[in-house]
């Protein structure tokens, strides 16, 4: 878990107003404030119980008027616009819903726990400029998507499915994630499944094997 939070923090950039939606523990806002990376930070969570952890961690910054806790769904309770938004640990579909009901700020950093393709499709349609979009981790694998709201090009279907940087310059975590997913699909296929589920799984397996093959070759060529 520590590795995930460190990787996310290492991609946080300077901002005037930073917001961490779904902050839970509040480590990322602490990172921003301690390093003087933002003027003020909003820590927001739909659960008052989760937010309590962040409030405790950041009590001195809250007392100084640099950090503001908000209990709300998504960006709804934020009293001003942020210029850097972090949403980590929520599903891709949920992140899209939050953005649709709120807005896409100038800079963003997202770490979707699942369905990253939904988020990529949304960002691509919005014309967002993606700076980083790849998989990281050891054992558990996560997607990280960082960028700015404007100036990007449309993603291809494959980029949406797999992540732009995973295709352009694959790294070990992506390769390991593909292998783990393939194993999972193969073991599902041994079960008693409906014809529809079996066909869907086979389609996913075939697409996955194609990317796995490419990734293997690219990694081998690079040495
Ligand atoms: C898995 S934790 C992730 C915490 C932290 N962002 C991280 O990456 O380590 C998800 C947090 O998001 C909060 N959450 C879920 N849906 C939310 C929503 N729609 N708006 C705000 N917070 C939400 C949950 O209450 C929980 O505290």
For residue 111, pLDDT beyond 60: yes
- Does ligand 1 come within 6 angstroms of the Cβ of 6? no
- Residue 19 lies inside a defined structural domain of this protein: yes
Residue 6 is part of a domain; what is its CATH number? 3.40.50.150
- Residue 160 lies inside a defined structural domain of this protein: no
The model's confidence at residue 59, banded by pLDDT at 50, 70 and 90, is: very high
146 and 206 fall within a common domain: no
Domain residue limits at 190: 172-222
Nearest CA to ligand 1 atom 1: 89
- Residue 166 lies inside a defined structural domain of this protein: no
Q: How many domains does the chain have?
A: 2
43 and 127 fall within a common domain: yes
The model's confidence at residue 1, banded by pLDDT at 50, 70 and 90, is: very low
61 and 121 fall within a common domain: yes
pLDDT digits (tens, 9 = 90+) for 80-109: 999 999 999 999 999 999 999 999 999 999
For residue 142, pLDDT beyond 70: yes
- Does ligand 1 come within 6 angstroms of the Cβ of 47? yes
Nearest CA to ligand 1 atom 13: 22
- Residue 215 lies inside a defined structural domain of this protein: yes
* Separation of CA 71 and ligand 1 centre (Å): 11
Which pLDDT score is estimated for 2?
Answer: 52
The model's confidence at residue 222, banded by pLDDT at 50, 70 and 90, is: confident
- Residue 25 lies inside a defined structural domain of this protein: yes
- Residue 96 lies inside a defined structural domain of this protein: yes
How far apart, in whole angstroms, are the C-alpha atoms of residue 68 and residue 19?
9
75 and 177 fall within a common domain: no
For residue 188, pLDDT beyond 70: yes
- Does ligand 1 come within 6 angstroms of the Cβ of 112? no
Which pLDDT score is estimated for 128?
Answer: 98
The model's confidence at residue 53, banded by pLDDT at 50, 70 and 90, is: very high
- Does ligand 1 come within 6 angstroms of the Cβ of 50? yes
Of 99, 127, 155, at which residue does a domain stop? 155
* Separation of CA 20 and ligand 1 centre (Å): 9
151 and 179 fall within a common domain: no
Indicate which atom in ligand 1 lies nearest the CA of residue 94: 19
68-86: average pLDDT: 97
166-194: average pLDDT: 96
8 and 34 fall within a common domain: yes
42-62: average pLDDT: 98
- Residue 164 lies inside a defined structural domain of this protein: no
178 and 101 fall within a common domain: no
- Does ligand 1 come within 6 angstroms of the Cβ of 88? yes
34 and 137 fall within a common domain: yes
- Residue 162 lies inside a defined structural domain of this protein: no
């Amino acid at each position: 878990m520590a590795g995930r939070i460190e990787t996310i923090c290492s991609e946080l950039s300077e901002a005037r107003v930073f917001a961490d939606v779904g902050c839970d523990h509040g480590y990322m806002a602490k990172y921003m404030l301690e390093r003087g990376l933002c003027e003020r930070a909003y820590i927001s969570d739909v659960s008052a119980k989760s937010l309590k952890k962040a409030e405790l961690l950041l009590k001195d910054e809250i007392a100084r008027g640099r950090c503001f806790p908000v209990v709300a769904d998504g960006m709804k309770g934020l009293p001003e616009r942020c210029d850097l938004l972090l949403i980590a640990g929520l599903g891709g579909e949920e992140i899209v819903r939050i953005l649709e009901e709120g807005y896409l700020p100038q800079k963003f950093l997202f770490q979707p726990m699942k369905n990253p393709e939904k988020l990529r499709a949304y960002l691509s349609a919005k014309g967002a400029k993606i700076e980083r979009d790849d998989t990281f981790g050891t054992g558990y694998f996560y997607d990280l998507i960082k960028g700015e709201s404007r100036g990007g090009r449309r993603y291809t279907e494959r980029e949406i499915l797999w992540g732009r940087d995973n295709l352009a310059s694959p790294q070990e975590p992506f390769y390991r994630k593909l292998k783990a997913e393939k194993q999972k699909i193969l073991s599902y296929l041994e079960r008693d499944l409906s014809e529809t589920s079996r066909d869907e799984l086979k389609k996913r397996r075939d697409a996955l094997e194609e990317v796995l093959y490419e990734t293997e070759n690219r990694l081998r060529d690079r040495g």
